[in-house]
Structures are given as C-alpha cells and as structure tokens.
Homo-oligomer: A and B are copies of this chain.
Amino acid sequence: MSNKIFIDACFGKKTPYTPIWMMRQAGRYLSEYMAVREKAGNFLNLCHAPDMAAEVTLQPIDILGVDAAILFSDILVVPNEMGMELEFIKGFGPKFPQPLKTDEDLDALDMSASNKLTYVYETIKIVRKELADDKALIGFTGSPWTLATYMIEGQGTKTYAVVKKLIYSNPDYMHKLLDKLTVVITEYLEKQIEAGVDAVQIFDSWASALERDAFFEFSWDYMVKIAENIKAKYPHIPVIMFPKGISGFLDGIYGNFDVFGVDWATPIELAKEKLGDKYVLQGNLEPTRLYSRDAIDKGVDHIINTMKNERHIFNLGHGMLPDLDRNNAKYLVDKVHSDSSKF
C-alpha cells in the first residue's frame, strides 16, 4: 500500500473511502485562481511561471480537500515547444496561426520539445515539495490525436473538416505526425514523472471527432503506445486514459494502463459492465449538477451506489465550469468521502 489513497485506488486496492478530484479543479470558479492569473497577465504566462502555476495547482487541495492535485498547465504547450506559434485569444480560445500543411512543416517540428518544457518540471518540483505526502500529484498530456487535430486545424472546430480531409487524402501524413507526437509525449511524461508526479493522465478531448475504426487507428492505438512505454519504465506510476465521447466503442478498449476515465455521457453502469473488471474507473458526475445540491445528491448517490467504493475514483465527467459555486464543489467532496466510506 502507498501512503496515498488516490494511488491505492488507481491500482484497485481497497481504500477507506473513494478518492475524488475534479477535472479543471484549478480554474476560474476560484477567486484565488483569478487573482494569480491576473498577476500573470495571461493564460500562457501562467503556464510558463512555475511559482504561480504551482500556486494554482495547490489551491483546490486546500480549498476543497480533494485527494489529488493536477498539474496546472495546458495540453498545447507541447506543440508550442515543437515550434508552433501559439496564441490564446480572449473569447475565441487557442490558435496556431500557422497550422501544419506541408511535409516541410512536419520535418520542422522540434523533436527535442520535452527538453524545453522545463517550466512544467519546475512547477512539479515546487508542488511536490509543498503538497502533503498523502495527496497525489497528477501529471498530464493531450493525446497525440487531440494535439494533432489542433496542429492541423489551427484552432477549435465543429466539423473537423480540415483534419478529416487529411486523414482521407493523406493518412500517412497524419500517422507520421502521430508517431512524432507519441515520441515527444512519452519523453514529456517521463520527465514529469522524474520531476515528481505520482500518476499521469492522457486527455483525448477530441476522441468524439472520430468514427469507431478511425478512433482506434488514429487515436487509441497511439495512446496505448504511450501508456505502455510509461508502464514498462515506471510500473508503479498509474496511467489514466480519458477518451471523451466514445460510449459506443467501449467494447474495443484494450491496452496496459490502470484507470479509464468515464465521461458523463457514458452511463457509469455501462462502463462498469464493459470495463470495470479490467480497469479502475474514474468519473463521472455531470458538471452542471454542481449548480444544485439536490442534483449533486442524486448524481452522487447513483454513482456511489453503482461503484460501491470498489475500483473507483470519483471525478466529474468533464471539466468544472467557470460559474460554479465553490461551496457546492466542497459539498461534493465531503459527500463523496462520507457516503463512500459506508461501503
């Protein structure tokens, strides 16, 4: 047993209660976060400043009492350090003004990017020093597919038209890019682990852009490669996979990793039936339930009574929303701890 309940739960060990953390728990719904972000000037500055990034990483531990902190950073720092100019435009979101188009663009990507992400490793070192020993620190990355989609589209998209045209007309180009990202991401996660994270999560936020076969070919296979690289070298580090929006493909999920993140559109009992024996499940309260105590009560009852404090980490089924009431978030954490301890 580790001294961290979150880590024990990742490995399916029986814990006195179900640990909880929340995606985007360090975020705009906390005035303390907004104060630091204002000091940083903008979002990317905050990612680049280890002292401040560490501070916002730690805030939800103190404020909410969650069982794990997640590194404050952004998935797009990886393509950024591979040489792609990155802007965050207010009211619009992230943008790469020069998306990838040619073979030369591919060749120009800097494969030593993980060496340049030193501000992330610095953040991790500061957090790990200040974080209580019984709390876990989760590192993370975007999946190759999700990062590649941003790099090809240049920005968020509803139809994924540019990247879809590419995978139909020139799948080799996409596979070359995904191979490169798999190498860089593996090194990036290894360096996060060396710097002190206790677990890693791979976010595939845009899994839902793909049909079943394409999801496995262009996304999941690469995520599994990364997971298996990490598990081979660091078997004691839990690997969490979070492909969002694939409730129709659960029966195809395979690979050597520890925890499967369940989005809120997937009924928790369906995930349990399909994957619960093989993987620990993480999730999956619908985030807007945090607007209402009654909705929290009903949602938590359903999830806790389904999972019964076995092979389960509590989380939201997507990220926190900026206008949520922190008191409700704290209420959720306390309720999950208390209710799950009865099993």
Q: Is A323 an interface residue (CB 8 A)?
A: yes
**Cα distance A244–B211 when bound, in Å?**
14
Q: List the interface of chain A (C-beta within 8 A of B).
A: 159-161, 164-165, 168-169, 208, 211-212, 245, 247-249, 264-267, 270, 286-289, 291-292, 294-295, 321, 323
Give the distance to chain B from A247, nearest Cβ to Cβ, in Å: 3
- Contacting A212 at CB < 8 Å: which of B169, B208, B267? B267
Which of chain B's residues have a CB closer than 8 A to the CB of A211? Answer: 264-265, 267, 286
Considering the complex, give the chain B residue whose CB is closest to the CB of A164: B288
A212, closest chain B residue (CB):
B267
With a CB–CB cut-off of 8 A, which chain B residues contact A295?
A: 168
Q: Roughly how many angstroms separate A292 CA and B161 CA in the complex, as a whole number?
A: 12
Residue of B nearest to A319 (CB): B159
- Once bound together, how far apart are the Cα atoms of A295 and B169, in whole Å? 8
Asked if B249 contacts A248 (CB within 8 A), the reply is: no
| Residue contact B288 to A265, C-beta cutoff 8 Å | no
Q: Whose C-beta in chain B lies nearest to the C-beta of A208?
A: B265
In the A-B complex, the 9 residue pairs with the closest CB atoms:
A247-B248, A164-B288, A168-B292, A168-B295, A212-B267, A165-B291, A248-B266, A211-B286, A247-B247
Query: Residue on B with the closest CB to A213?
Result: B302
A161 to chain B, nearest CB (A): 6
Please state the number of chain copies in the assembly. Answer: 2
Chosen A-B contacts, 6 in total, with CB atoms closer than 8 Å, are A161-B291, A165-B288, A168-B291, A208-B265, A211-B265, A211-B267
Residue in A168, A266, A286, A295 with the greatest tally of chain B CB atoms within 10 Å: A168
Report the Cα distance A183→B164, complex, angstroms: 41
A12 to B165, CA, bound (A): 35
A269 nearest in chain B by CB position: B212
Evaluate contact between B288 and A270: CB separation under 8 angstroms: no
**Min C-beta distance of A245 to chain B, whole Å:** 7
User: Which residues of chain B are within 8 angstroms of A168 by Cβ–Cβ distance?
Assistant: 288-289, 291-292, 294-295
Q: What separation, in Å, do the CA atoms of A55 and B247 have in the docked complex?
A: 40
Q: Which of B159, B248, B266, B323 contacts A161 (CB 8 A)?
A: B323
A165 to B292, Cβ gap below 8 A? Answer: yes
Alpha-carbon separation in the docked complex, A331 to B338 (Å): 60
How long is the Cα–Cα vector from A128 to B245 in the complex, in angstroms? 40
Contact B294 A270, beta carbon cutoff 8 Å: no
Residues in B with CB closer than 8 Å to A159 are 287-288, 321
Distance A105 CA – B267 CA, assembled complex (angstroms): 34
For residue A270, which residues in chain B have a CB less than 8 angstroms away from its CB? Answer: 248
User: Which residue of chain B has the shortest Cβ distance to A285 in the bound complex?
Assistant: B211
A294 to B289, CA, bound (A): 44
Kindly list chain B residues whose C-beta atoms are within 8 Å of the C-beta of A264: 211
Distance between A320 CB and nearest chain B CB, rounded to angstroms: 11
